[in-house]
């Protein structure tokens, strides 16, 4: 989602370091270096071998191998999709259908409106009507984003549960109306948001949705549980005493070593608004607190209009004053048991969560890396207090018991993790409890002096333990800073982090292997902008999905990159006005799943995908199934 996260709400003034060496680091220099140097050389060039070696030793790697990947290149052997192939079928205009490398093929799975179970009502894009709210509650939602495939059993790469986020769908796309006119319209919109758990199987060489009693929708009105420090704090209680329900703006995702899915609530603020607000007089009965402003709440929100018919989302309704604190969390879902409620894990902090990549750190601890996607917001990690196996053996969730940290990047390629704890006097002067520190994690991070970043989106863990962060862009950055190598930064970059003590320490080193740009040392063919989704495979290949205006007439794209060599190849390009979101892969890595989100922005004159081009059928978000024609490993 790139339209609603563009505001700057961080007024902390945190800017702890400026351009010590980066003042002289022009974008051109970075590109030249990143093209010719290995990631190790790149970091070494700026922070010096001694620091690199020290950090490498701390990580348990031999000196000099800290950020190097497993192989020296040759990870990708497929024919890249050229700009000409991806843009030429209808001349100058962007394509209405996807394009893919000649070594690959794609298929479409579970578009918006697909019934969760075979035989149910389906919506297929007929512009003359929309699903009812009740139908939508049993159909795949819209705004496909983060996802993961959970194989039926460990060995299966042909059957399992696909968890898919439904980040958002604009009211005209979902309801066919400019604004909701009834509670039924609001319910339809709410049921299109959230996430789906869908059973899928490869039948006769083609993946399809199959029946399962565990298939389910989790939307705005589905009962959910809370756990962790905020759950029992009273902060989530409303005078209306309404039950805890729903998840919203489910953007990136994650998966745990114990087999559950994590869905991440991002721009939740925009669904709340003041029902008393009069746009002509610009007045209403609600006024934002400083903390609400820090999370971007406003009288008009994003214009969904839910507040007019559903008091939960009305900021002026005192009976639901704490409803807003029930969103902005990491939500854990059991993909294999449809009877289990989703659980919001409050120990992981409340912010505009993007993705959540989990590493198994020293002593078997679960360590989650999480971005807060807003201009000048922060990078976080959560470290479980003991091994995930021992906690679970005691009936405890590893995501309920641990410490939350926020990142401070230093100008010399090092960094520190600052713990968000009420035991820190800096936070104790602002807050009364750990629950408050977590519920207002952004404010805590401001007070601790965290480093403002360029919109941290997904994270992923490389096979050597390095953590990659996608920083999608920040056109309002005026000065370079630690972790942010250019100002302004319209196209974004990828940051690589080596976290000390096998993910559990409080220091790290960092470097920048890729700056998104027109080219990466080979002419224009590897142009990309606005990296968003990112996933590392066990061989060190990075899969990068983009969200934003691509150059050279390209639609948004899926790229494969080798951070050790700087090589980038385009695998797939989407349809007009879409965003490439999500990434999931089967255990044998022979099928991967990505999404086209908001194809055509819902406008049937731009694309009718996945329907054939007819100019009228409403385009629908859907999952794209990608396989190699020769049956090989995806990305190879």
Residue 354 interacts with ligand FEO (CB under 6 A): yes or no: yes
Considering the complex, state which of residue 159 and residue 532 has its C-beta at the smaller distance from ligand FEO.
532
Least distance from ligand FEO to the Cβ atom of residue 92, Å: 29
3 state DSSP class of 52: helix
* Number of Cβ within a 10 Å radius of residue 151: 16
CA atoms within 13 A on the CB side of 59: 27
Identify the residue whose tokens are 């990142």.
Answer: 407
Residue 159 interacts with ligand FEO (CB under 6 A): yes or no: no
Least distance from ligand FEO to the Cβ atom of residue 329, Å: 15
Least distance from ligand FEO to the Cβ atom of residue 252, Å: 7
Considering the complex, state which of residue 6 and residue 283 has its C-beta at the smaller distance from Ca ion.
6
Considering the complex, state which of residue 40 and residue 473 has its C-beta at the smaller distance from ligand FEO.
473
Identify the residue whose tokens are 């289990």.
Answer: 340
Least distance from ligand FEO to the Cβ atom of residue 474, Å: 12
Q: Which residues of the shown chain bind Ca ion in the complex (CB under 5 A)?
A: 2, 457, 532, 547
Residue 5 interacts with ligand FEO (CB under 6 A): yes or no: yes
Considering the complex, state which of residue 159 and residue 373 has its C-beta at the smaller distance from ligand FEO.
373
Q: 594 forms bridges with which residues in the sheet?
A: 624
5 binds, among ligand FEO, Ca ion, none (CB under 5 to 8 A by kind): ligand FEO
Report the alpha-carbon distance of residue 142 to residue 124 in Å, rounded: 12
Count the site residues for ligand FEO by CB under 6 A: 9
Residue 491 interacts with ligand FEO (CB under 6 A): yes or no: no
**CB-based contact 352:377 (threshold 8 Å):** yes
What is the CA 183 to chain-centroid distance, rounded?
30
Contact code string over 535-554 relative to ligand FEO, x by CB under 6 A: --------------------
331, burial (CB in 10 Å: exposed 0-12, middle 13-18, buried 19+): buried
Considering the complex, state which of residue 143 and residue 180 has its C-beta at the smaller distance from ligand FEO.
143
Least distance from ligand FEO to the Cβ atom of residue 518, Å: 23
Residue 634 interacts with ligand FEO (CB under 6 A): yes or no: no
Least distance from ligand FEO to the Cβ atom of residue 112, Å: 17
Q: Which positions from 193 through 232 interact with ligand FEO, judged by CB under 6 A? A: none
Beta-strand (E) ranges in 243-327? 250-255, 261-265
Report the alpha-carbon distance of residue 348 to residue 350 in Å, rounded: 7
Q: What is the dihedral of CA 529, 535, 536, 542, to 10 degrees?
A: -20
3 state DSSP class of 163: strand
Least distance from ligand FEO to the Cβ atom of residue 348, Å: 17
Q: Which positions from 438 through 457 interact with ligand FEO, judged by CB under 6 A? A: 457
Least distance from Ca ion to the Cβ atom of residue 370, Å: 13
Contact code string over 236-275 relative to ligand FEO, x by CB under 6 A: ---------------x--------------x---------
Residue 621 interacts with ligand FEO (CB under 6 A): yes or no: no
Q: Which two tokens stand for residue 140?
A: 């795949």
Least distance from ligand FEO to the Cβ atom of residue 572, Å: 19
Q: Which two tokens stand for residue 409?
A: 């990047």
Q: Which positions from 505 through 534 interact with ligand FEO, judged by CB under 6 A? A: 532
Cβ-Cβ contacts under 8 Å for 512 (sequence gap 6 or more): 30, 34, 42, 483, 485, 493, 494, 495, 496
266 binds, among ligand FEO, Ca ion, none (CB under 5 to 8 A by kind): ligand FEO
Report the alpha-carbon distance of residue 390 to residue 363 in Å, rounded: 10
Least distance from ligand FEO to the Cβ atom of residue 99, Å: 23
Considering the complex, state which of residue 549 and residue 615 has its C-beta at the smaller distance from Ca ion.
549
Considering the complex, state which of residue 167 and residue 400 has its C-beta at the smaller distance from ligand FEO.
167
310 binds, among Ca ion, ligand FEO, none (CB under 5 to 8 A by kind): none
Considering the complex, state which of residue 250 and residue 607 has its C-beta at the smaller distance from Ca ion.
250
Considering the complex, state which of residue 314 and residue 457 has its C-beta at the smaller distance from ligand FEO.
457
97 binds, among ligand FEO, Ca ion, none (CB under 5 to 8 A by kind): none
Identify the residue whose tokens are 């404010």.
Answer: 443
Buried b (16+ CB within 10 A) or exposed e, 553-576: ebbbbbbbbbbbbbbbbbbbbbbb
Considering the complex, state which of residue 361 and residue 483 has its C-beta at the smaller distance from ligand FEO.
483
* Number of Cβ within a 10 Å radius of residue 632: 15
Q: 596 forms bridges with which residues in the sheet?
A: 580, 622
Report the alpha-carbon distance of residue 353 to residue 598 in Å, rounded: 20
Cβ-Cβ contacts under 8 Å for 558 (sequence gap 6 or more): 543, 544, 545, 546, 570, 571, 572, 573, 580, 594, 626
Considering the complex, state which of residue 171 and residue 581 has its C-beta at the smaller distance from ligand FEO.
581
What secondary structure, in 3-state letters, does 108-156 show?
Answer: EECCCCCECCCCCCCCCCCCCCCCCHHHHCCECCCCEEEEEEEECCCCC
Omega into 610 within 30° of 0, i.e. cis? yes
Q: Which two tokens stand for residue 73?
A: 């290149």
**CB-based contact 536:46 (threshold 8 Å):** no
Least distance from ligand FEO to the Cβ atom of residue 504, Å: 27
Least distance from ligand FEO to the Cβ atom of residue 506, Å: 27
Residue 167 interacts with ligand FEO (CB under 6 A): yes or no: yes
Contact code string over 373-412 relative to ligand FEO, x by CB under 6 A: x---------------------------------------
Give me the phi and psi of 221, to 5 degrees please: -115, 15
Binding residues vs ligand FEO (CB under 6 A):
1, 5, 167, 251, 266, 354, 373, 457, 532
């Amino acid at each position: 989602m790139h339209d609603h996260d563009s505001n700057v709400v961080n007024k902390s003034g945190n800017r702890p370091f400026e351009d010590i060496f980066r003042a002289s680091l022009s974008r051109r220099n970075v590109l030249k270096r990143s093209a010719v140097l290995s990631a190790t050389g790149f970091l070494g060039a700026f922070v010096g071998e001694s620091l690199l070696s020290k950090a490498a030793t701390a990580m348990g790697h031999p000196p000099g191998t800290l950020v190097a990947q497993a192989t020296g290149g040759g990870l990708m052997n497929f024919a890249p999709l050229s700009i000409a192939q991806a843009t030429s079928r209808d001349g100058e205009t962007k394509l209405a259908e996807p394009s893919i490398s000649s070594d690959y093929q794609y298929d479409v799975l579970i578009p918006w409106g697909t019934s969760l179970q075979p035989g149910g009502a389906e919506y297929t894009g007929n512009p003359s009507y929309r699903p009812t709210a009740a139908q939508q509650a049993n159909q795949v939602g819209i705004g496909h984003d983060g996802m993961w495939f959970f194989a039926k059993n460990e060995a299966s790469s042909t059957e399992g549960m696909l968890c898919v986020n439904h980040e958002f769908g604009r009211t005209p796309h979902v309801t066919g109306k400019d604004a909701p006119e009834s509670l039924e319209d609001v319910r339809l919109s709410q049921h299109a948001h959230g996430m789906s758990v869908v059973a899928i199987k490869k039948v006769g060489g083609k993946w399809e949705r199959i029946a399962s009693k565990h298939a389910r929708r989790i939307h705005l009105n589905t009962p959910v549980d809370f756990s962790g420090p905020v759950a029992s704090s009273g902060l989530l209680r409303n005078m209306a005493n309404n039950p805890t329900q729903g998840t919203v703006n489910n953007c990136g995702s994650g998966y745990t070593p114990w087999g559950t899915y994590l869905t991440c609530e991002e721009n939740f603020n925009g669904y709340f608004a003041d029902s008393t607000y009069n746009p002509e007089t610009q007045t209403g009965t609600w006024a934002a607190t400083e903390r609400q402003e820090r999370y971007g709440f406003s009288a008009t929100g994003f214009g969904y209009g839910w507040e007019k018919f559903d008091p939960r989302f009305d900021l002026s309704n005192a009976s639901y004053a704490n409803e807003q604190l029930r969103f902005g969390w990491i939500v854990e879902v059991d993909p294999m048991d449809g009877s289990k409620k989703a659980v919001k894990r409050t120990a992981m902090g409340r912010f505009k969560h993007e993705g959540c990549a989990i590493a198994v750190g020293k002593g078997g601890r679960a360590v989650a890396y999480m971005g807060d996607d807003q201009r000048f917001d922060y990078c976080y990690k959560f470290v479980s207090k003991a091994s995930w196996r021992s906690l679970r053996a005691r009936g405890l969730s590893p995501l309920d018991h641990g410490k939350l940290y926020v990142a401070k990047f230093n100008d010399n390629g090092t960094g520190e993790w600052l713990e968000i704890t009420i035991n820190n006097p800096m936070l104790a002067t602002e807050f009364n409890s750990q629950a408050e520190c977590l519920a207002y994690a952004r404010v805590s991070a401001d007070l601790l002096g965290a480093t403002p970043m360029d919109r941290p989106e997904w994270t992923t863990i490389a096979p050597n333990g390095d953590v990659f962060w996608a920083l999608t862009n920040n056109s309002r950055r005026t000065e370079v800073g630690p972790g942010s190598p250019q100002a302004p930064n319209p196209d974004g970059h990828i940051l690589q982090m080596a976290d000390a003590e096998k993910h559990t320490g409080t220091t790290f080193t960092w470097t920048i292997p890729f700056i998104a740009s027109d080219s990466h040392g080979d002419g224009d063919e590897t142009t990309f902008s606005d990296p968003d989704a990112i996933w590392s495979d066990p061989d060190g290949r990075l899969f990068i999905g983009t969200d934003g205006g691509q150059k050279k007439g390209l639609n948004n794209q899926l790229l494969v990159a080798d951070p050790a060599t700087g090589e980038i190849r385009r695998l797939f390009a989407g349809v007009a006005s879409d965003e490439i979101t999500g990434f999931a892969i089967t255990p044998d890595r022979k099928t991967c799943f990505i999404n086209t989100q908001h194809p055509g922005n819902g406008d049937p004159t731009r694309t009718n995908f996945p329907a054939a081009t007819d100019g009228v059928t409403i385009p629908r978000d859907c999952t794209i199934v990608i396989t190699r024609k020769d049956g090989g490993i995806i990305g190879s």
